[in-house]
């Protein structure tokens, strides 16, 4: 069958988004609320980070009508500016939610534009939740269709696929037709970017912010009549193949509405790349076994998949490096017995004892271990060796964070971000978001 005789994936996905109602997604609402709660946690934690402040200095002079809040701060921007800033802040700490099949962080690129647009246009919480669930579905399905090759090739998948989720969610919120949403997805395909090489720099956050802003922009352009190919994602000269991948169409469009990607979402207990969590857990277990003999450790070997080594076997020059470092994660967990926000702060990067302990760590490939698993072997000065293996880290689907743990994470992050926003109001509002006629109260009524 020639391509022009078939239905493009954009048409299939758009018809699903346009035709899905609250009743269809209500069963996913609790997980969606957990994801949005975690989104607020990470955005609040970075509210006054220099990267966010710098972005606001750049954006503010060019903002249109200031309708939408910058989370945790007094400033407002137009919806596209707020979408950019809030996606950046939600992604800065490497503490955001994770779809393990793709390593996409779903909420930042989708929640940021949906909440900014809803505040600007007065949409209800139920509208927001419906759009958010559908946006996550689309971004993760696009990610599924090109994984694992897309990420391994160097594309930052949260950014490159997040723009599709942002476009779908924004289009749904705007009430676009199926044809218009298909166009929005095609326009998004022309705005997809982000590279893994930039993960340890602020450029990573720019691409996440752009995914949120560009997806909203795509939907707004589609609403005004801009068109795009329905084959923009999977066509012979489309997005997937241009980026080097033969898309898996079954994973892209098969079973729409029968299975839900948001049900596979996970939440981090540690502000580091998700693939390092098993390393941290294994080191905690070893520390407990060693008791007072921690100083007897002569060397530390971390074994894991090619993804673990590609992401984390690198020098540590700043706090961004530390969050994606096998060496820093192992050193903190073993020496300090902690792996929280403080342990990945700039002050810890050059702490002499941690620098020394990082030098004890070496990474080693073990192709038998799946992504997300790790084995840590420590050699003592006595010659004795101890090891621990973790196949499913804390926070994974096998050992998920509880609702209360996510609430506690939000409170911890809010303290870090030093915001005057009413945290109890945010927590209560997110759990009741489907009952809110207007989400403005959720978006920034300070104490």
CATH number at residue 359: 3.30.1330.120
Same domain, 43 and 84: yes
* Residue 446, pLDDT above cutoff 80: no
Give 114's pLDDT tier (boundaries 50, 70, 90).
very high
**pLDDT digits 0-9 by tens, 120-142:** 999 999 999 999 999 999 999 99
Is 15 a domain residue? yes
Place of tokens 């050193």: 331
- This model's pTM is above 0.85: yes
In angstroms, how far apart are the furthest CA atoms of the chain?
Answer: 73
Encoded tokens for 187: 């326009």
Q: What CATH number has the domain bearing residue 138? A: 1.10.4100.10
Same domain, 378 and 427: no
Is 77 a domain residue? yes
Domain span at residue 33? 3-267+400-442
Cα Rg of the chain (Å, integer): 22
Give 201's pLDDT tier (boundaries 50, 70, 90).
confident
Same domain, 349 and 214: no
Pairing label, strands 374-380, 385-390: antiparallel
Is 111 a domain residue? yes
Is 395 a domain residue? no
* Residue 249, pLDDT above cutoff 90: yes
Give 5's pLDDT tier (boundaries 50, 70, 90).
very low
**pLDDT digits 0-9 by tens, 349-406:** 999 999 999 999 999 999 999 988 999 999 999 999 999 999 999 999 999 999 999 9
Q: Report the pLDDT averaged over residues 63-79.
A: 96
* Residue 445, pLDDT above cutoff 60: no
- Angle between the N-to-C axes of helices 107-121 and 202-223, in degrees from 0 to 180, rounded to the nearest 10: 50
Predicted local distance difference test score (pLDDT) of residue 135: 98
Give 3's pLDDT tier (boundaries 50, 70, 90).
very low
Predicted local distance difference test score (pLDDT) of residue 292: 87
Total H helices, total E strands in the chain: 21, 8
Predicted local distance difference test score (pLDDT) of residue 441: 86
Number of structural domains, the chain? 2
C-alpha pair distances (Å), 16 with each of 13, 93, 101, 118, 328: 5, 33, 22, 21, 44
CB atoms within 10 A of CB 37: 23
Domain boundary among 367, 390, 413: 390
Predicted local distance difference test score (pLDDT) of residue 200: 81
**pLDDT digits 0-9 by tens, 88-112:** 999 998 899 999 999 999 999 999 9
Shortest CA distance to 165 belongs to which of 121, 123, 215, 125?
A: 215
Instruction: Name, in order, each residue with C-beta under 8 angstroms of 404's C-beta and a sequence gap of 6 or more.
Output: none
What is the residue-wise DSSP string for 155-168? Answer: B-HHHHHHHHHHHH
CB 157 within 8 A of CB 198: no
Instruction: Name, in order, each residue with C-beta under 8 angstroms of 293's C-beta and a sequence gap of 6 or more.
Output: 380
Shortest CA distance to 174 belongs to which of 211, 207, 130?
A: 130
- Give SS3 for 365: strand
Same domain, 405 and 360: no
Same domain, 244 and 329: no
Place of tokens 């978006």: 443
Same domain, 150 and 106: yes
Q: Report the pLDDT averaged over residues 68-97.
A: 96
Instruction: Name, in order, each residue with C-beta under 8 angstroms of 398's C-beta and a sequence gap of 6 or more.
Output: 392
Same domain, 186 and 239: yes
Same domain, 242 and 295: no
Mean pLDDT rounded to a whole number for the chain: 95
CB 93 within 8 A of CB 47: no
Same domain, 110 and 184: yes
């Amino acid at each position: 069958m020639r391509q022009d005789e078939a239905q493009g994936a954009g048409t299939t996905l758009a018809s699903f988004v346009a035709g899905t109602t609250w009743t269809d997604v209500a069963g996913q609402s609790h997980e969606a609320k957990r994801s949005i709660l975690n989104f607020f946690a990470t955005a609040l934690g970075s509210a006054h980070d220099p990267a966010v402040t710098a972005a606001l200095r750049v954006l503010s002079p060019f903002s249109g009508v200031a309708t939408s809040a910058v989370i945790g701060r007094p400033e407002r921007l137009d919806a596209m500016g707020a979408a950019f800033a809030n996606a950046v802040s939600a992604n800065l700490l490497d503490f955001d939610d994770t779809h393990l099949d793709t390593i996409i962080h779903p909420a930042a690129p989708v929640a940021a534009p949906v909440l900014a647009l809803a505040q600007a246009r007065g949409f209800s919480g139920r509208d927001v939740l419906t759009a958010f669930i559908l946006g996550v579905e689309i971004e993760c399905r696009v990610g599924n269709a090109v994984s694992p090759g897309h990420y391994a090739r160097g594309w930052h998948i949260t950014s490159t696929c997040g723009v599709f989720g942002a476009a779908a969610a924004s289009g749904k919120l705007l009430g676009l037709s199926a044809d218009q949403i298909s166009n929005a997805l095609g326009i998004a395909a022309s705005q997809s970017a982000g590279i893994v090489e930039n993960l340890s720099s602020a450029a990573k956050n720019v691409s996440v912010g752009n995914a949120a802003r560009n997806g909203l922009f795509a939907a707004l352009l589609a609403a005004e009549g801009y068109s795009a190919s329905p084959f923009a994602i999977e066509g012979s000269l489309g997005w997937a193949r241009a980026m080097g991948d033969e898309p898996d169409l079954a994973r892209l469009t098969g079973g729409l509405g029968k299975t839900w990607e948001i049900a596979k979402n996970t939440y981090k207990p540690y502000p580091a790349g998700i693939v390092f969590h098993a390393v941290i857990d294994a080191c905690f277990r070893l520390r407990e076994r060693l008791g007072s003999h921690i100083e007897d450790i002569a060397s530390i070997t971390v074994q894991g998949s090619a993804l673990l080594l590609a992401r984390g076997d690198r020098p540590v020059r700043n706090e961004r490096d530390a969050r994606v470092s096998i060496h820093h994660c192992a050193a903190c967990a073993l020496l300090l017995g902690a792996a929280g926000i403080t342990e990945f702060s700039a002050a810890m990067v050059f702490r002499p004892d941690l620098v020394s302990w990082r030098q004890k760590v070496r990474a080693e490939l073990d192709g038998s271990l799946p992504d997300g698993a790790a084995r840590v072997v420590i050699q003592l000065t006595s010659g004795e060796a101890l090891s621990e293996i973790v196949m499913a880290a804390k926070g994974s689907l096998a050992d998920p964070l509880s609702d209360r743990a996510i609430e506690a994470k939000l409170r911890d992050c809010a303290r870090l971000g030093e915001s005057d926003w009413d945290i109890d109001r945010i927590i209560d509002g997110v759990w009741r978001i489907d009952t809110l006629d207007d989400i403005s109260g959720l978006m920034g009524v300070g104490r």
